[in-house]
Amino acid sequence: MTTDPVSASGTVHWIGAGLSTGSGLATLCDTAERVRLWHRTESRAADALDRLGLAGRAEPRAYTLPALAAELAPGDVVVSMLPASEHAPLLAECVRLGAHFACSSYVSEAVLDQVPAAEKAGVVVLTEAGLDPGIDHLFAHALVARAREAIGDETPASYSLTSYCGGVPAVPNDFTYRFSWAPAGVLNALRSPARYIEGGTETVAGRPWEATRRHVVEGETFEVYPNRDSVPFVAQYGLPDAWTPRTFVRGTLRLEGWLRAWDGVFEELKRGDDDRITALAQELAAAYPTTDDDRDRVVLAVSLDVRAGTGRTWAGGYLLDLVGDARESAMARCVSRTLALGVRHVLDGSLPPGLNRAAGTAARSEQWLSELARHGVEFTLRVDQ
């Protein structure tokens, strides 16, 4: 029996005001009864509200976990923009106090361990509700549903699903990159092996960049490589058992020339010296700072191609290609507005207790995509039959 969720109180606690906090916070100020922005100090939280044009519409707070816990009430919603390593203790406090939890990060084992307790307590745990992960899930669910309707669940078929996302400079630079999150995180992600399906076989790339290949999107050539573990998403996206994957890759997209421009970085990563890589992250942050004059570009391309043994085929794809402006980066727009949309569904009681990864069904994905389009996150759908 599913536990009823704790009724939302109408209060939202948004923790962190870094590069991915953008206009989504403003939409919550229009929706929630009360919003508190927690940052390292109260003055920095107030400065962030000024920057976002939200002074007087949200309350600034200095974040510590005990300080937050002292103000949490049952039914409040906690939105974490903190590093993923800090989510588990934060979620534990939410479960203890009956508050809901939301973030844009992948689900960690430490968070998964707490899901049964959260579900029992009637607490919603919303995760993977940003850009990637987040909008990519919505695109994939919607494409799979369209293909299933066209081909049929029981019809033997093979398919190729690719999902590539990247934050890049709107005006290409010699480094072919613009840091939209901490350089240390970027480097350590490249050190993590990637598992994916290619040629119908599970493949592991110990050094993901060594699996980089060309990928053409709307006539523009990019470079893409696999990241993390793609294989569990075959089940998560609801692909029929009668269909066999030819290719299934979730990965990262970069501008053409990235592999060459980063050759020196890859040599450092191959040596595997943790102290040196930490120092390299600091050097790269200093050499390629993000300035107010920079404009970023976000590209997310998700494609599905299905070929049935009967000769029937179905192919389609979503493309999101946005450029930031003087008010906010494209990355902040995509992450914060998607997360805010999820929080609004926590507030209206439409998400069940326990674990939610963005919108986990095709119908809800279509609903979220319609809502995102109305809130300025634009994308296109292509279908070939």
CA 255, 256, 260, 266 dihedral sign is: positive
40-60 confidence digits (pLDDT tens): 999 999 999 998 999 999 999
| Band of pLDDT at residue 297, cut at 50, 70 and 90 | very high
Is 1 a residue whose pLDDT tops 70?
Answer: no
- 3-state SS, one letter per residue, for 306-326: EEECCCCEEEEEEEEEEECCC
% residues pLDDT > 90 (the chain): 86
Query: Would you state the pLDDT for residue 181?
Result: 73
| Band of pLDDT at residue 2, cut at 50, 70 and 90 | low
DSSP letters of 228-242?
A: SB-TTHHHHTT--TT
Is 170 a residue whose pLDDT tops 70?
Answer: yes
Same domain, 66 and 84: yes
| Band of pLDDT at residue 290, cut at 50, 70 and 90 | confident
**Known catalytic membership, residue 273:** no
Domain end (from 127, 158, 180): 127
The answer as to whether 345 is a domain residue is no
Domain range for 260 is 135-330+360-384
* Residue appearing with tokens 């979503």: 318
Same domain, 150 and 118: no
For Cα atoms 250, 109, 180, give the angle at the middle one, nearest 5 degrees: 50
Same domain, 162 and 110: no
What value does the mean pLDDT of the chain take? 94
82 - beta bridge partners?
none
Query: Would you state the pLDDT for residue 14?
Result: 97
The answer as to whether 344 is a domain residue is no
pTM for the predicted model, two decimal places:
0.95
Query: Would you state the pLDDT for residue 289?
Result: 84
Same domain, 214 and 66: no
For Cα atoms 195, 196, 200, give the angle at the middle one, nearest 5 degrees: 135
What is the separation of C-alpha 75 from the centre of its chain, rounded to a whole number of angstroms? Answer: 25
Amino acid code (one letter) for 187: L
Q: What's the CA gap between 367 and 372, in Å, rounded? A: 9
Which of 93, 126, 121 lies closest to 3 in space, CA to CA? 121
Same domain, 374 and 225: yes
Mean pLDDT of 189-206: 96
The answer as to whether 348 is a domain residue is no
Is 310 a residue whose pLDDT tops 90?
Answer: no
Strands (DSSP E) contained in the chain are 11-15, 34-39, 59-62, 77-80, 100-103, 124-127, 157-169, 194-198, 201-205, 213-217, 220-226, 243-255, 296-308, 313-323, 354-357, 380-384
- 183-190 helix and 274-287 helix, angle to the nearest 10 degrees: 130
Find all residues with CB under 8 Å of 264, minimum gap 6, and list them. Answer: none
Same domain, 32 and 67: yes
For Cα atoms 79, 85, 86, give the angle at the middle one, nearest 5 degrees: 45
The answer as to whether 234 is a domain residue is yes
Is 12 a residue whose pLDDT tops 80?
Answer: yes
247-289 confidence digits (pLDDT tens): 999 999 999 999 999 999 999 999 988 999 999 999 998 998 8
Query: Would you state the pLDDT for residue 222?
Result: 98
- 263-271 helix and 183-190 helix, angle to the nearest 10 degrees: 70
Is 119 a residue whose pLDDT tops 90?
Answer: yes
Same domain, 119 and 144: no
The answer as to whether 94 is a domain residue is yes
Residue 24: C-alpha distances to residues 17, 187, 370 (Å): 12, 28, 16
Asked if 143 and 305 touch (Cβ cutoff 8 Å), the reply is no
Same domain, 258 and 190: yes
Q: What's the CA gap between 303 and 140, in Å, rounded? A: 8
Which of 277, 206, 198, 209 lies closest to 245 in space, CA to CA? 198
Mean pLDDT of 137-157: 96
Mean pLDDT of 134-147: 98
Is 304 a residue whose pLDDT tops 90?
Answer: yes
The answer as to whether 353 is a domain residue is no
The answer as to whether 70 is a domain residue is yes
Same domain, 99 and 227: no
The answer as to whether 350 is a domain residue is no
Same domain, 274 and 213: yes
CATH number at residue 117: 3.40.50.720
Same domain, 115 and 141: no
Query: Would you state the pLDDT for residue 95?
Result: 97
Asked if 206 and 241 touch (Cβ cutoff 8 Å), the reply is no
Which of 327, 323, 335 lies closest to 298 in space, CA to CA? 323
Q: What's the CA gap between 283 and 281, in Å, rounded? A: 5
341-382 confidence digits (pLDDT tens): 999 999 999 999 999 999 889 999 999 999 999 988 999 999
Domain end (from 93, 110, 127): 127
Same domain, 122 and 143: no
CATH number at residue 282: 3.30.360.10
Domain end (from 75, 103, 127): 127
Least confident of 81-85, 97-101, 345-349: 81-85
**How many domains does the chain divide into?**
2
Q: Which of 4, 50, 132, 321 is catalytic?
A: 132
